[in-house]
Structure 1
Amino acid sequence: MSDSGRADALLAELPRDGRGRLKVFLGAAPGVGKTYAMLQAAHTQLRQGVRLVAGVVETHGRAETEALLSGLPQQPLVRTEYRGVMLEEMDLDGLLAAKPKLVLVDELAHSNAPGSRHEKRWQDIQELLAAGINVFTTVNVQHLESLNDQVRGITGVQVRETLPDWVLQAADELLLIDLPSRELLERLRDGKVYVPEQARAAIDAFFTQTNLMALRELAMQTAAAHVDDDLAQGYRQLGQAAPAVRGRLLVGVDGDAQAERLVRHACRVAQRRHLPWSLVHIDNGRARDEQSRLRLQNAQQLAERLGGEVVLLRAGEVAKTLIQHAAERRASLLLVGQSRMRWRRRLFGGGLAARLLRNARGLEINVLDSDDMPAPPRLPDVRGLVWFDYGLAVVATVVAAALAWAVASVLPLPNISLVFLAAVLLVGVRSSLGPSLVCAALSFLTYDFLFIPPKFSFAIQREEDVLTLLFFLLMAALTGNLAARQRRQLQALRDTQEETSELLDLSRKLTAATDRQAVISAAAHHLQGWSDLDLCLVNRDGQGDWKVETGSPLAFTESERAAADWAWQHDQPAGMGTGTLPFGRWWWWPLSGEEGPLGLLGVSPKPGLELSGQRRRLLTALSQPLAQALARAQLAQELESARLHGETEQLRSALLASVSHDLRTPLTSMRGSIDSLLALGEAIPLEDRRELLEGTRDEAERLDRYIQNLLDMTRLGHGALKLARDWVSPGDIVGSALGRLRAVLAPLQVKTDVPAQLPLLYVHAALIEQALVNVLENAARFSPAQGRLDVSAGVVDDQLFFAVADEGPGIPEDERAKIFDMFYTAARGDRGGQGTGLGLAICQGMVGAHGGRISVADGIEGRGTCITLFLPLPTQPGLERDA
């Protein structure tokens, strides 16, 4: 045995995180003592300090059972009214809220009252287990779904309350409560199981000696299968040879009356042989009535409940397709039902089983005989008859007869039959097998009546004409059958192509979607063409309520809201057609990612229509790429959020580093000057004191500019900077900016060129001045000592510009666009040290707020940098008055 197999076996035995354990007390029949044994085990747990609650326990009036129950804490039952009758059911929500360590739940296969959250009690238990609560429960063997028909054959009673076998197989512990048949009958006669009147009726109808022995054997076989599984698991944990899965079981199912019986038998065989199994249906295009489609759908749903895989194939030849599929899946056993031996099957090689036995190689074929019980009467489905096709057969025969009569004088008799064969072929291609056979029969009779001597009579005069007519009938039947088969195969291929196209089309649309809204729009555009269904996609909003993201407007009723909530919380389908809250008109399918649902797909058939199994499977297939696309969009959003968070952290770090440096430098200089004045006082000459105070003032102004830049950048980023526009002269803006930077520009040779005749600007003067101050300060920092600095203004293309050119190191072409980014600095030639890198970013924000722009070019005589501010020129106030 491989190490990976042993590891899987060991991991399977580890406690499942957050999930409770299930212990089942199994019995052969009522009265064997399952509930009594469960209560005894509960008292043992109670003495060990386990916090437990009896959720629901049926004592059936037995004194010993009631005495044991009275010593245990109990959860009150929920009373509901249904059609005037008060029904009591287990309080699931109360148990989930109390969250005890152990809950006692009797009668695992019980059907809940209509209107309950779940249709079956075993579904309630699954929810308790998912909440981390351990459960003790009881069940009788006749309630197992796979044994339903076998129990009916033994006892003659159809058990209505059934339990999927996988629930019992998933139990952590299975305890068989056995009682010999004679002792159970004595308990019945003594009134310890039912009251005397009920006991006598039960003995006569169900509790016979032979029935109890057969049920006891079934219970032991079920317990033995569970023990075999535990034993095999133990061997695998030891790394020793364990019973290996040998192949696969395939069960071929059609829409006949024994479909469900065949599925149950396949489940039992698969359990005994430890084989995975699949239900396979071959759609050969044959027309089916509504009853046949319903039986097939029920069989497929039953197979899913029993843990089997449902496979739908489309082909013309059923036997050949089954053999090919068995080879592809490496199946070792093929199970089919016995076909009805109609005359044409006897004539053309027998039924499906005979063809499988004749063509299969190395494959075990099992054939289940037909049920001995009489089948229910089958009502003819008038709607299933396509009268147009049969009318086409009659018309084709008449037209062929007229054409044959017209050419009878020029063609020999054998060639005339080809005209009728052409009519049969035409009908077979355009319709199905039934109309083509009708056309063949009518053509046979017409050919005999009109053309075989003696004419206008069905009598045959010559013996060789009998053989001619028989060959004609045979060829007509074969031709019609072949044409109809080819048409069915073509239709099956069209259906397959339609489903594949649906998946491909949706996948293509979803591939181009980059965010959740695009995914939802693509899904809505794809599904809006389904006229037989109402579809919607819902999601949780910030308050935990439901919002419809696309599809039909939805008014949530209480049942719909409960079904949607349950599907979201448990990541399982709920609503119409499921076992959970099935009384609404919507079917909810969760679209899930790795961390839970990303949305719910709601499906509801139009009034008067039904949601077919084929439609449901197609929606399930389409939901997979839709869920993947939603998960991909969520991942992209999370990655973008992570990227933005990283950039924000990087900007915060850069801001703190820059601010800490640029604020600390002027503060240190100011503190040094103030300490000198305080320490030396009058001892410092007047001129030196004045110089210290002026230096302190300059550093304070520098500090004020840093803080103002930070505040302006914050206001720009939050949209809080308001423009108080007014008419202002460009020369006044330049003069004020140069005055504010007089000390900074003192070491440089500043040249200004601002014509007096420049037009006025309608701007926020303080902001434009601050922008020009930032550009001038940036140029001064990067200019060499005694370097030139040219400041000019002018008009170009209905725009007024302010240009500042220096003789600094310049800015490379590839970096000129970056200097307007926040925190980007260039330290080459910077006499003042590094800044925050906010000055030019603020300039761009201020100028851009006025509808202007900033450009970067070479500086004086090709050296340094020239930064130009462009502002739009409005209509001048004087010109406006003249107009």
Structure 2
Amino acid sequence: MSDSGRADALLADLPAAGRGRLNVFLGAAPGVGKTFAMLQAAQARLRQGVRVRAGVVETHGRGETAALLAGLPVQAALRRDYQGVAVAEMDLDGLLADPPQLVLVDELAHSNAPGSRHAKRWQDVQELLDAGLDVYTTVNVQHLESLNDRIRDITGVQVRETVPDWLLQDAFELVLIDLPPRELLERLRDGKVYVPEQARAAIDAFFSQTNLTALRELAMQAAAARVDADLARRYRQHGREAPAVRGRLLVGIAGDEAADRLVRHASEVAQRRHLPWSAVHVDTGAVGDEHSRARLQAAQQLSERLGGEVVLLRGGEVVRTLLEHARERRASLLLVGHGDRRGWRRGLAERLLRRGDGLEISVLDGEGARHARRTRPRRPPLRATDYLLATVAALVASALAWGVSRYLALPNISLVFLAAVLLVAVRSSPGPALACAVLSFLAYDVLFIPPAFSFTIQRQEDVLTLLFFLLMAALTGNLAARQRRQLTALRQAQRETTALLELSRRLTAATDSEAIYSATAQQFGQWPALDACLVVRDGDSAWRLVAAAEGSPGSSVEARAAAFAARFAEPERAAADWAWQHERPAGTGTDTLPGGRWWWWPLSGEDGALALLGVRGRDGRPLSAARRRLLAALGQPVAQALARARLAEDLEAARLHGETEQLRSALLASVSHDLRTPLTAMRGAIDSLLALGEAIPLADRRALLEGTRDEAERLDRYIQNLLDMTRLGHGGLTLNRDWVAPADIVASALGRLRPMLAPLRLETRLADPLPLLHVHAALIEQALVNVLENAARFSPADGRLQVAVEADADELRFVVRDEGPGIPEAERERVFDMFYTAARGDRGAAGSGLGLAICQGMLGAHGGRVSVGEGLDGRGTGMVLHLPLPAQPAVEVER
């Protein structure tokens, strides 16, 4: 065995992170001592220092059981009024508000009073486990969902309160509480289980010696199955091969009354053989009645509760589709009902046995299956319009055939009737098509087979012709109707696939959460029978509508939001809160808070729920299982897109944080250059003037003052750069554009930097003529000043500095070239980063690195850019300021 498999087996023994452990005390019947054993175990845990609380414990008046409650804290029951009767229920919110370490919950299969958060008590237990609380609970074997039919067959009683089998499979520990039937019957007679009157009725109706023995065997089988699973896991933990899972079990279900029985039997067989299993329904396109669809939906929901996979297939032939799916999934066992066998038609089981080579096929045939055959599902009501169409088609075909009979031979006339049969089959169903075939057969005999206008047939070959015509008409009609059903099914599948692909395409183009919300609303807005919405929870636990696909198409988002808020009543809010917290569906159509009108599906990522998808049918009916599965499938890419958007936002935040830290470090290094250096020079000059005063020659005093002024101007330019960068970063830069000549900008910039440029050989080249620029003149001048100052700082003494202005049809360029050290090609893009030069450390060249960053920001605000190239004669650096040229203004000519 691989190390990974052994590790998985070891991890399976550990509870999920933050989830509590479930201990189940299982018994064969009431009175075997489950509650007593649970309280004994709780008392032992209490003595160990564990904080234990009894959530709900039913003593049924038994003194020895009530005595074990002594010393155990008890959570006060929650009283609910149901039809004028006060019903006591477990206070789930009270337990969650002040959580103990261990909660005692008796009678796991109990149904909660209407109005409770969950329909079943086992769902309350799941919420306690999700909150990290350990739970001790009790249940009888008759309440297991997969055994429901067998319990009815054994006892004659249909148990209404059931729990899914996966609860026992996921339990941390299963304890079987066993008591021989004779001792249990003695306890019943002694009044230790029920009061004497109830005990006598219970013995007569349920607790017979035979029933208790059978229930005891079922309880032992359930415990043995759990022991087998635990043993296999122990083998894997020690690195030894466990019994291999052999294939898969498939159970074929339809909308008949045997569907539930098939599903429960499949769950039991799969559990006994340790097989994964699927409930498969083949949709041939035939329209069933409402009862059939309801039974099919109930069987699919039962499959999900029992831990099976629900599969919907579409095909024209049930047997071939089932066998193809079984081969694709590498199934080893196929379970079906016996079905019908009427005349020449073979039942489903017989056809599977004939064609399913290499596949084990089990056929369930019992009282339930025979009852299902006796009461076959009702067919859809006949549509009078379809049969009227068949009659009219036969009459029209007869008239048309009579009209062309003088021109065509008798065998060719039958094609007219066949065309009518095909037309009816394509437009309706096999029944009307067969009716049209029979009417066409009669018309063909009466009108065209001699003797005319008589059902008598004189020639033997005409008998064969008529029979062959009837056979061909029936076959072609049935084939056309089947193709029509398949076409309808394929169209439905295509619509679902198209919806998924369209949503995926829209989500791919969405770059942020708002775009994802909008794309989702557009997709669900295409379904006229549904209202859909997306809601998220803000930090203050308030719900916020982020997308809505409801109301009239022309209504505004605000109107839809207001309409939704008006309908977001307390039942909807409670269901949404629960779905968000537990990441499981809630609301109408589920067993959790079903009192509202909306079905809530959480769109979850790795870190929890990202949004809630709310859907309701406009007709007020709960969504079908197929529609819920489709919505869940569509919700998956939405959840992935939201997780991707959140990840992108987190990465962007991390990047900005990193850049901020880098900026802070660079700022500190920059301050050491551009603030400390001029301040030090200014302080030195001022100290000299104060200390020596008139002793300093006049020329030297003037030089000290001019140096102080230059350093002050340098400091002012640096502070101005900081202010400009702040305005650019916060969007506070306002462009007051005007028409200006490029030569004026160059002249003003050179004038401002005359002292700095004095040691250099300045060359100015301006093209003639130059177009006007429609810009903020002061900003462009500042950008040019920054570039010139940067070039002057790095130019050698007596070096050349060239300023040129060029223009073409699309843009105007300010070009500044120097003979400095130049910039390596790999670093030319980085010179526009803030504090680039300062980041080199205190030994780097003077300058903050802000000037070029500001230059790029100012030109970018005008739609321009800055580029870096070569300097003069292959040396130094060339900075080019690109500005777009607008259409030139009209020039007025004086007359």
Match of 1:622 in 2: 634
Match of 1:110 in 2: 110
Q: Distance in 1 between matches of 2:334 and 2:879?
A: 86
1:586 paired to 2:598: yes
1:243 paired to 2:243: yes
Sort the Cα spacing of 1:45 and 1:460 in 2 relative to 1 into closer, same or farther, 3 A: same
Q: Distance in 2 between matches of 1:498 and 1:749?
A: 76
Q: Distance in 2 between matches of 1:856 and 1:280?
A: 68
How much does 1:585 deviate? 0.9
Question: Given the alignment, which residue of 544, 547, 564 partners 1:547?
Answer: 544
Q: Residues 329-408 of structure 1 correspond to what in structure 2 (within 5 A)? A: 329-342=329-342, 346-348=343-345, 350-372=346-368, 374=371, 384-406=381-403
Match of 1:757 in 2: none
Moved more, 722-731 or 634-643: 722-731
Sort the Cα spacing of 1:418 and 1:38 in 2 relative to 1 into closer, same or farther, 3 A: same
Match of 2:652 in 1: 640
- Give CA deviations for 1:259-296 in whole Å, capped at 9, x if unaligned: 11111011111111111111111111222111111111
TM-score by length of 1: 0.86
Q: Distance in 1 between matches of 2:460 and 2:881?
A: 114
Q: Residues 11-90 of structure 1 correspond to what in structure 2 (within 5 A)? A: 11-90=11-90
Sort the Cα spacing of 1:716 and 1:376 in 2 relative to 1 into closer, same or farther, 3 A: same
Sort the Cα spacing of 1:727 and 1:23 in 2 relative to 1 into closer, same or farther, 3 A: closer
DSSP 3-state at the match of 2:362:
strand
Q: Residues 384-783 of structure 1 correspond to what in structure 2 (within 5 A)? A: 384-406=381-403, 419-447=416-444, 470-551=467-548, 552=550, 553=560, 554-555=564-565, 556-670=568-682, 691-692=703-704, 694-719=706-731, 744-745=756-757, 747-748=759-760, 774=786, 777-783=789-795
Q: Distance in 2 between matches of 1:698 and 1:586?
A: 74
Moved more, 703-712 or 104-113: 703-712
User: What code does the residue aligned with 2:485 have?
Assistant: R
- Give CA deviations for 1:154-182 in whole Å, capped at 9, x if unaligned: 11111111101101111111111111112
Sort the Cα spacing of 1:763 and 1:228 in 2 relative to 1 into closer, same or farther, 3 A: closer
Task: Please tell me whether the aligned partners of residues 856 and 868 of structure 1 are also in contact (alpha carbons under 8 angstroms).
Answer: no
DSSP 3-state at the match of 2:17:
coil
Moved more, 180-189 or 580-589: 180-189
1:325 paired to 2:322: no
How much does 1:475 deviate? 3.9
Sort the Cα spacing of 1:195 and 1:530 in 2 relative to 1 into closer, same or farther, 3 A: same
User: What code does the residue aligned with 1:51 have?
Assistant: R
Q: Distance in 2 between matches of 1:420 and 1:790?
A: 97
Q: Distance in 2 between matches of 1:635 and 1:383?
A: 52
- Give CA deviations for 1:652-693 in whole Å, capped at 9, x if unaligned: 333332332233333444455567678888887676566555
Q: Distance in 2 between matches of 1:241 and 1:65?
A: 45
User: What code does the residue aligned with 1:504 have?
Assistant: L
Moved more, 784-793 or 664-673: 784-793
Sort the Cα spacing of 1:50 and 1:696 in 2 relative to 1 into closer, same or farther, 3 A: same
Sort the Cα spacing of 1:445 and 1:807 in 2 relative to 1 into closer, same or farther, 3 A: closer
Task: Please tell me whether the aligned partners of residues 499 and 618 of structure 1 are also in contact (alpha carbons under 8 angstroms).
Answer: yes
Match of 1:785 in 2: 797
How much does 1:547 deviate? 1.6
How much does 1:428 deviate? 2.4
Identity %: 73
Task: Please tell me whether the aligned partners of residues 166 and 307 of structure 2 are also in contact (alpha carbons under 8 angstroms).
Answer: yes
DSSP 3-state at the match of 2:269:
helix
Task: Please tell me whether the aligned partners of residues 288 and 384 of structure 1 are also in contact (alpha carbons under 8 angstroms).
Answer: no
Task: Please tell me whether the aligned partners of residues 749 and 789 of structure 1 are also in contact (alpha carbons under 8 angstroms).
Answer: yes
Q: Distance in 1 between matches of 2:404 and 2:780?
A: 103
User: What code does the residue aligned with 1:188 have?
Assistant: L
How much does 1:411 deviate? 6.7
DSSP 3-state at the match of 1:279:
strand
How much does 1:734 deviate? 9.7
How much does 1:186 deviate? 1.8
TM-score by length of 2: 0.85
- Give CA deviations for 1:23-44 in whole Å, capped at 9, x if unaligned: 0011111111111111111111
Q: Distance in 2 between matches of 1:850 and 1:498?
A: 49
How much does 1:123 deviate? 1.0
DSSP 3-state at the match of 2:40:
helix
Moved more, 670-679 or 693-702: 670-679
Sort the Cα spacing of 1:314 and 1:725 in 2 relative to 1 into closer, same or farther, 3 A: closer
Moved more, 705-714 or 376-385: 376-385
Q: Residues 43-192 of structure 1 correspond to what in structure 2 (within 5 A)? A: 43-192=43-192
Q: Distance in 2 between matches of 1:796 and 1:364?
A: 83
How much does 1:570 deviate? 1.4
Sort the Cα spacing of 1:404 and 1:703 in 2 relative to 1 into closer, same or farther, 3 A: closer
DSSP 3-state at the match of 1:589:
strand
Q: Distance in 2 between matches of 1:396 and 1:726?
A: 82
Task: Please tell me whether the aligned partners of residues 670 and 838 of structure 2 are also in contact (alpha carbons under 8 angstroms).
Answer: no
User: What code does the residue aligned with 1:532 have?
Assistant: A
- Give CA deviations for 1:226-249 in whole Å, capped at 9, x if unaligned: 111111111222222322111111
How much does 1:325 deviate? 1.5
DSSP 3-state at the match of 2:4:
helix
- Give CA deviations for 1:147-206 in whole Å, capped at 9, x if unaligned: 111111111111111101101111111111111112212222222111222222212211
Q: Distance in 1 between matches of 2:453 and 2:808?
A: 108
DSSP 3-state at the match of 2:675:
helix
Q: Distance in 1 between matches of 2:439 and 2:738?
A: 101
Sort the Cα spacing of 1:437 and 1:789 in 2 relative to 1 into closer, same or farther, 3 A: closer
What stretches of structure 2 of length at least 5 have no aligned partner? 551-559, 767-771
Q: Distance in 1 between matches of 2:209 and 2:315?
A: 50
Q: Distance in 2 between matches of 1:20 and 1:709?
A: 60
DSSP 3-state at the match of 1:347:
coil
Task: Please tell me whether the aligned partners of residues 256 and 376 of structure 2 are also in contact (alpha carbons under 8 angstroms).
Answer: no
How much does 1:869 deviate? 11
Sort the Cα spacing of 1:789 and 1:475 in 2 relative to 1 into closer, same or farther, 3 A: closer
Sort the Cα spacing of 1:156 and 1:818 in 2 relative to 1 into closer, same or farther, 3 A: closer
How much does 1:418 deviate? 5.1
DSSP 3-state at the match of 1:80:
strand
Q: Distance in 1 between matches of 2:596 and 2:683?
A: 78
Task: Please tell me whether the aligned partners of residues 401 and 420 of structure 1 are also in contact (alpha carbons under 8 angstroms).
Answer: yes
- Give CA deviations for 1:68-104 in whole Å, capped at 9, x if unaligned: 1233101111112223222221111111121211000
Query: How much is the aligned-residue C-alpha RMSD, in angstroms?
Result: 4.5
User: What code does the residue aligned with 1:394 have?
Assistant: T
Task: Please tell me whether the aligned partners of residues 761 and 800 of structure 2 are also in contact (alpha carbons under 8 angstroms).
Answer: yes
How much does 1:773 deviate? 5.9
What stretches of structure 1 of length at least 5 have no aligned partner? 755-759
Task: Please tell me whether the aligned partners of residues 38 and 136 of structure 1 are also in contact (alpha carbons under 8 angstroms).
Answer: yes
Sort the Cα spacing of 1:793 and 1:283 in 2 relative to 1 into closer, same or farther, 3 A: closer
- Give CA deviations for 1:721-749 in whole Å, capped at 9, x if unaligned: 68999999999999998887675455457
